[in-house]
Amino acid sequence: MSQTAFVTGGSGFLGQHLIRQLVAGGVAVRALARSDAAATAARDAGATPVAAELTDRASLEAALAGPVDVLFHTAADTNRWTPNNARQTEVNVGGARALVDAALATGARFFVHTSSVSSYSHLVDEELSEDVPRRGGESWINYERTKYLAEEVVRDGMARGLAAAIVQPAHIFGPGDTRNWAKLVQLVDQGKLPGAPPGSGAFADVREVARAEIEAWRRRRAGETYLLGGEHASFVELIAKIGAQLGRRTPKRATPAFVLRAYARVLDLASRITRREPEITPEGAMFTCHHLAVDSSKAVRELDYGITPLDRLLADTIESLRRAGMLGAAHGNRNERTGDAAR
């Protein structure tokens, strides 16, 4: 008998990979679609689009009608600008609450929640493992706070009988990215990168993140949380690797953290007058100044999670951007607009 999955965020970077892997494995997929563009993306990936509003429990219950073997929640608002915080809280926390309630009401058999390493917060300086206390609830950064609170909503659902697992990816790279870390690659390609941030990160392969989510369901890892990291590197090292593959020069040293933070504060003050989101916000500056280290050994051990070497991951990402016509001097002159980078 065919199994059925329901996916939120199916038009997104991770959601697209998740749908394709599920369909390739013989799973029938329904995907939440809030727009015509999202519905088209869902169909192109092999899913059946279903109209619903993430923050509306009634519409979600209607969308989940019929047997659902697993619900993958990947949708999130990754905003990094204070004026948009209210909407972000509504989507990330209110959406998780509505979805958990709908899953319990309709009898969804399993729930996989895509959270983030941000639920631990930049306030944690040590290497992350699943037993490190999460401090997102204390953070002044709304994204960190909402990712923490959304996890609490899911844990409350577990206490009410929801079979669920939580995954916490780090920085996600891979083919198919056109908005997230693609911005950084494009800036390097165009020779317009203003400097290198002083922080560091753990770089996960989107294909492995999607596969780990499916394994968490197939192996019925209810009640478990999994950190999904990758090869560690400073942002200076990451940018140098991108530059080497593109044949572009890159900064040799990082911009001092105090300079980056001060610049972000100035831009933020100006944005309150222009009402336009600045190229870097205080929140964004904090993320890129933070040193992130992630222990993925639990996911490797229990989900067969794979760590893709960073050079290969970047090569696959860059090749995908080339195929999409998003790299090259001609493209840089035609279109300098890129999306937000987020983890």
Is residue 313 helix, strand or coil?
Answer: helix
Residue 285 within a domain: no
Can you read off the two tokens belonging to residue 176? 């198919």
- The pLDDT-based confidence of 343 (bands split at 50, 70, 90) is low
Residue 45 within a domain: yes
Beta carbons within 10 angstroms of residue 195's beta carbon: 17
d(C-alpha 33, C-alpha 11), whole Å: 8
Residue 262 within a domain: no
What is the total count of domains within the chain? 1
Residue 326 within a domain: no
Tokens 């989507």 -> residue: 91
| Residue 292: pLDDT over 70 | yes
pLDDT digits 0-9 by tens, 150-205: 999 999 999 999 999 999 999 999 999 998 899 999 999 999 998 999 999 999 99
Residue 320 within a domain: no
CATH of the domain at 112: 3.40.50.720
Residue 313 within a domain: no
* Residues of the domain holding 174: 4-182+201-232
d(C-alpha 299, C-alpha 304), whole Å: 7
Higher pLDDT, 136 or 340: 136
- The pLDDT-based confidence of 1 (bands split at 50, 70, 90) is low
Reported pTM: 0.93
Average of per-residue pLDDT across 68-95: 97
Please state, for a pLDDT cut of 70, what percent of the chain lies above it.
95
Residue 261 within a domain: no
| Residue 283: pLDDT over 50 | yes
Residue 254 within a domain: no
